[in-house]
Structure 1
Amino acid sequence: MPVRLTLLALITLGALIGCAGPSTRAPDNTAAPRPPSLTELIEQDISANRLTTPSDNNALDKVERLPNPDQKKHYRQLIADRYVQLAERALQRNRYIRASGYAVKAGEISDNPRGLAEVRRRIQRYHETTTAEPIPAQVAPPKPSASLAKARLLDTISLPQAAVRERQFELRYRIDLVIEKAVKRNALIELISQTQSDARWLSALVRSRIRLSHPQYDLVLFSTIDDSHPPLFHLFERTP
């Protein structure tokens, strides 16, 4: 009798399992996280002040990938506005040379960044108060040494020849940008100009500006005359 009951229980249990069918799980409705859009990445870069650097991850490069011209204009304006904000912050700390570099960037990226005119006025007032400083003798720098040909090029900053020829005051903004970049990267500077007179004037301007902003900096400045090129500065890596 107990054997029959056990067998009957097993048969009943098997039937119940067969009726239940295969077990099922609730579907996983958790969606994979959505990757950020290009505009979101641009906004993140602007918030983090990755405006035009680093070279492989900055807001301006991403803006150039936007297909919509109106979006491009909008985000270029935001980047330029942020440069103006950085310039204003630098002015509050009396870092006029750095502010000048930020102002140049803002003007290059957008035609009319908000607040740029006032920033430029404040920088110009600073320049006017420092023009009484004696300017070093206008002596052309030496020609590049052979070692410079092997040095790694870090950056190039061009100048409009008309502004150089007319000795325009606004060139000081570009010179200040050159100085900030050179000091930041401890770079050697090569000046390429079209005439000896331009070379002497530009090199004197560099020396006077760097003496005001970074008097302890070990300036190494070379000069090349080449009338087939617009005036420009090359920044090279300084090797031991």
Structure 2
Amino acid sequence: NPLRFPYRAIKEHQRINNTTITKSSTQLQVYYKNMSGVKLLGVNGSPASQRVEWALKIKGVKYEFITEDLQNKSPLLLKSNPVYKKIPVLLHNDNPIAESLVIIEYIDEAFEGPSILPKDPYDRAIARFWAKFLDDKCLPAVWKALWSQEEEQEKDKEEAYEVLKVLDNELKDKKFFGGDNIGFVDIVANFVGFWIGIVEEATGVVLVTSEKFPNICAWRDEYLNCDKVKENLPSREMLLGYFKSRVQAVAATLN
């Protein structure tokens, strides 16, 4: 299925992330208590895993990344997420939290550091609305259009344009979705900021241009220049190679 993210093709890796701490001794005690036993079950190159990693980076939380093989799921993953059996899963002091949007909200509430969601209840509700729009409407339509075959391509592209136009209008006169700083909706929109361009190059199907969606493109430039984002992106070459191989595989099935 070409719509699937490149989990099984991504080279397995495991890494420990270190952060520089400049806090008082009292703050350090709280800080280390909060971040003890933080592990992330995920896959390098997965947008869902990357969302959680960026949230942890924004908070300055030290964590262990445990790479999952989704063709041979580990007992730890199956135990930690028995309902969906999917990544990402955050383990905090051995307590599992599943689903990327839920995990990000948990990280925001459980750890000290810059706020990811707005403080105001109404603004938080609006942020959740756009996050749900991205996952429920935008991602499926865009992914379908990027992998659409010729007979359906124009129809699928028009459907993708409709949701992207809604997103573009929301970004009018904004640096980021929530204002001047990267936040919840920006993290959720990571596939728009990074993955779409790679799949466009691999498939030759171009959806996002500055002529059609100037606000998305301006946001994308700001997004990819954000230190916490650009310092923690997966390898573009690795992902491009994977998606090109998927294009070849799809073409082979049609011949």
User: TM-score normalized by structure 2?
Assistant: 0.27
From the CA coordinates, give the structure whose radius of gyration is larger: 1
User: TM-score normalized by structure 1?
Assistant: 0.29
Q: Tell which has more relative contact order, 1 or 2 (C-alpha 8 A, sep 6+).
A: 2
